[in-house]
Amino acid sequence: MDQISSSASRCDVAIIGLGPVGATLANILGQAGISVLVLEKEAAAYHLPRAVHFDDEVMRVFQSIGLAEALLPYLALSTGMRFLDPAGRIILDWSRLQPTKPHGWNTSYRFHQPELEDVLRKGLTRWPSVAVRERCEVFAVEEQADGVVIRFEDLGTGKLCAANVGYVVGCDGARSLIRRLIGSGQVDLGFHERWLVIDAILKRPRPDLGDVSLQFCDPERPATYVRGTGNRRRWEITLKDDEPSARMTDPARVWALLSRWITPDDAELERSAVYTFHSVIAERWRRGRLLIAGDAAHQTPPFLGQGMCAGMRDVANLGWKLIGVLRGEFGDDLLDGYQTERFPHVREYIELAVKFGGIINTRAADVALPNTSKSAENTLQIRVEKPRLGRSFHWGRSDQLGRLITQPTLSDGARLDDRVGPRFCLLVERDLICSAPASLAHKLAARDVVCLDSSHTEVGDWLRAVGHKAVLVRPDRYVFGVADNEAELSALVAAVS
Ligand X SMILES: Cc1cc2nc3c(=O)[nH]c(=O)nc-3n(C[C@H](O)[C@H](O)[C@H](O)COP(=O)(O)OP(=O)(O)OC[C@H]3O[C@@H](n4cnc5c(N)ncnc54)[C@H](O)[C@@H]3O)c2cc1C
Report the interface residues with ligand X, using CB under 6 A: 16-22, 39-42, 50-54, 137-138, 171-173, 177, 197, 275, 294-295, 302, 305-309, 311
Question: Residue 180 or 423: which CB sits closer to ligand X?
Answer: 180
Nearer to ligand X, 311 or 387 (CB): 311
Tell me how far, at minimum, the Cβ of 22 lies from ligand X, in Å: 5
Contacts of residue 455, Cβ cutoff 8 Å, sequence gap at least 6: 411, 430
Query: Does 408 sit behind a cis peptide bond, omega within 30 degrees of 0 on the bond before it?
Result: no
> What's the closest the beta carbon of residue 354 comes to ligand X, in angstroms?
15
3-state helix/strand/coil string of 321-333? HHHHHHCCCCCHH
**Closer CB to ligand X, residue 1 or residue 446?**
1
CB of 196 within 8 A of CB of 274? yes
What letters, b where the CB count within 10 A reaches 16 and e where it falls short, cover 58-71? bbbbbbbbebbeeb
Residue 35 in contact with residue 166, Cβ under 8 Å? no
d(CA 30, CA 126) in angstroms, rounded, equals 8
Q: Which is nearer to ligand X, 181 or 473 (CB)?
A: 181
For ligand X, the closer of residues 48 and 97 by Cβ is 48
CB of 34 to ligand X, least distance (A): 19
Minimum distance from CB of 441 to ligand X (Å)?
41
> Least distance in Å: CB of 473 to ligand X?
24
Shortest distance (Å) from residue 18 CB to ligand X:
6
Q: Where are the beta strands (DSSP E) in 261-398?
A: 267-282, 286-287, 290-292, 298-299, 372-374, 380-382
Instruction: Beginning with the edge strand found earlier in the chain, give each strand of the sheet holding 108-110 in spatial order.
Output: 53-55, 108-110, 76-77
Strand-pairing partners, residue 292, are 170
Q: How far is the CB of 433 from ligand X (least distance, A)?
A: 39
Rank residues 307 and 408 by Cβ distance to ligand X and give the closer one: 307
Question: Any bridge partners for residue 373, and if so which?
Answer: 381
Strand 267-282 vs strand 186-202: parallel, antiparallel, or unpaired? antiparallel
